[in-house]
A and B are shown apart, each in its own frame.
Chain A
């Protein structure tokens, strides 16, 4: 691919998804200013790697780069964050075994979800342990498919589904607390 083609491809493929890119980077890094650094760097990487874009879902392609860049950025700029939760593997196993995710006894009345403020929602999403938050953000905010998420974070689709279920369950509990 020559430079001109690369350039017009970049404009076509990357620019429409800047907002999604910033959103993902913000949810991973935790603040907008770091997210902007990450997005700028990710866009440079995307421009350099334009030839590797295969014509699939442009957003998924860009977000894969943004995600990778975010974590590299975090590992280079932040001290390792102490894990607030126990061991992730345990948690996932527990989730799978209980099937859990959704508490069948949950009050069917869903008004508290409909009336939750944006601030409460954002705060609740922030409290999610990272792998769950990431999966939820990729699905419900960036609107990627299970398969796209599985490919991106390199886990089986079943894991995507159970993480997503767990994330939503935790989110509901959190929102219910704050109502």
Chain B
């Protein structure tokens, strides 16, 4: 971005360089130079720390939840639409109707498209329209089944899996071994969902693998398990106040529910 002399002499640019470092926008060589300058200058170090603290604070702002009404409207854009639903799906607020281009024509062309495209009906499943996060989890689970190994660290020893996740992410969910109950810990991996690394445990039950995705939630309330079917997998979702969990597998429902019950009993003993 700039040479050394400019870096050390250009006081004006330094705050922006520190910021770029914190934002992960610098190439490794420049990053090292800036880090050295920060190490030698308490004022820069203070700027650096306060930017890190600010970014960490902003990360706590939650993304708004997608309402089921909106989700249905969006799903309807890309799915075959029942004629009876047409009015609902395409009823834009009246104020949008005054736009300069003809949205009716656009909507009509999408209707044609939707009718022609008969492939994706799963999104129109009203009772269990999965959120994009759950869809991503399903995709990751499927990918893990296809990969050479469904986990990044293979171990039935929770004393190996937990430290590995801790070292990678600085956080790890409870990882009880449930071998006695028929669910043996097989390993762990890191999923990246919505650009966030998320710890995932892998349990084995007979021939089936169960991925347990555990998203750290400082603000999570406690919620009871909810069953969902996503992309052909069974998913059970719940949260215990510290983590939001998704257990996903191609195993039978009773087995998955049993797993969830066992895991909850072991992770949060009453």
Contact across chains for B64 and A26 when beta carbons are under 8 A apart? yes
A152 within 8 Å of B (CB atoms): no
Closest to A164 in B: B19
Q: Which of B47, B67, B69, B71: most chain A Cβ within 10 A?
A: B47
Mostly, the B contact residues are helix
CB of A43 within 8 A of CB of B15, answer no
Q: Chain B, 116-156, contact with A by CB distance < 8 Å: what is the 0/1 string?
A: 11011001000000011101100000000000000000000
A121 touches B19 (CB 8 A): no
Contacts of A23 in B (CB 8 A): 63-64
Within 8 A of B (CB), among A1-34: 3-4, 6-8, 10-11, 14-20, 22-23, 26, 32
A108 in contact (CB, < 8 A): yes
Complex contact A168–B64 (CB within 8 A): no
Establish whether residues B132 and A172, one from each chain, have CB atoms under 8 Å apart when the complex forms.
no
Smallest CB separation, B198 vs chain A (Å): 14
Taking a contact as CB atoms under 8 Å apart, the answer to whether B66 and A168 are in contact is no
- In the bound complex, do residue A37 and residue B77 qualify as a contact, i.e. CB atoms below 8 Å apart? no
Question: When chains A and B are docked, how far (Å) is the Cα of A171 from the Cα of B53?
Answer: 12
- A sample of 30 inter-chain contacts (CB < 8 A) reads A6-B113, A15-B123, A16-B132, A16-B136, A18-B71, A19-B66, A19-B131, A22-B70, A32-B64, A36-B67, A37-B92, A44-B107, A47-B110, A48-B110, A77-B95, A98-B12, A99-B14, A102-B47, A102-B50, A106-B47, A110-B52, A110-B53, A114-B56, A121-B60, A140-B55, A141-B61, A145-B25, A146-B23, A168-B19, A168-B54
B contact residues vs A (CB 8 Å cutoff):
11-16, 18-20, 23, 25, 42-43, 45-47, 49-67, 69-71, 73-74, 77-79, 92-93, 95-96, 98-99, 103, 106-107, 109-110, 112-114, 116-117, 119-120, 123, 131-133, 135-136, 194-195, 219
Point out residues on A near B: beta carbons under 8 Å.
3-4, 6-8, 10-11, 14-20, 22-23, 26, 32, 35-37, 39-41, 43-44, 47-48, 59, 72-73, 76-77, 98-102, 104, 106, 108, 110, 113-114, 116, 118, 121-122, 125, 136, 139-141, 143, 145-146, 161-162, 164-165, 168, 171-172, 175
